[in-house]
Amino acid sequence: MQSLVNYHFANLSLPSLVINTGVLYTVGNYHLLKYGRAHFLRLLGVSCLGGSILSAVTAYNDRDF
């Protein structure tokens, strides 16, 4: 289980991290102001669940992991 957590949260590409953070801040801030906090938190929860599922599938299929 610990390796799945590391696989999900460890980002090894700095340019990817910077671009994703910038996009998430811009889009997230706009969404929060336009639709409100409850809708934003619901979308965040669904996104986190989807990311966890994709990470688990990728870790399962990665032979080097």
Number of structural domains the chain divides into: 1
Candidates 6, 1, 3, 9; CA nearest to 48 is 9
Calculate the alpha carbon distances from 33 to 39, 51, 62 in Å.
10, 24, 39
Would residue 42 count as lying in a domain? yes
Question: Is the pTM value of this prediction over 0.85?
Answer: no
Mean pLDDT over each residue of the chain, to the nearest integer: 80
- Integer Cα distance of 59 and 18 in angstroms: 23
Is pLDDT above 70 for 21?
Answer: yes
Residue 41 falls inside a structural domain? yes
Q: How many angstroms separate the CA atoms of 30 and 27, rounded?
A: 5
Which domain does 42 fall in, by range? 36-65
pLDDT score for 33: 92
Which of the four pLDDT bands, split at 50, 70 and 90, describes residue 8? low
- With 70 as the cut, is the pLDDT of residue 65 above it? no
Residue 6 clears pLDDT 80, i.e. is over it: no
